[in-house]
Amino acid sequence: MTEPAVRAWEAASRLVELLDVEVRMAEEGEGIRIFLELPPHRRETNHLEVLSVLQAADRFGHRRRSGQEQLWAVYRSFP
């Protein structure tokens, strides 16, 4: 497994533990992207821990589509 894939799997596993949601992964040209949808009525979560996981990525963000909130992170492959 490549270094970005290992980092992405570790982050995805931790986010599943913290948020109890499905985390999806996709290979892209620049590396591995993980993404998840936040449940509309999520339980109280340690937001700082979630941010800590996301900050370990090379890029991360949040978006809202059709009333659904999503988190994503990219783990890049560097030549």
Rounded distance, CA 44 to CA 10, Å?
22
Q: What is the pLDDT of residues 31-69, one digit of tens each?
A: 999 999 987 776 666 789 999 999 999 999 999 988 889
Query: Which domain range does residue 68 map to?
Result: 3-76
The per-residue pLDDT for 79 is 55
Q: Which two tokens stand for residue 17?
A: 């533990």
Mean per-residue pLDDT, 25-33: 91
Query: Is the pLDDT higher at 17 or at 67?
Result: 17
The per-residue pLDDT for 28 is 87
Please state the domain count of the chain.
Answer: 1
CB 36 within 8 A of CB 26: no
> Can you give the pTM of this predicted structure?
0.86
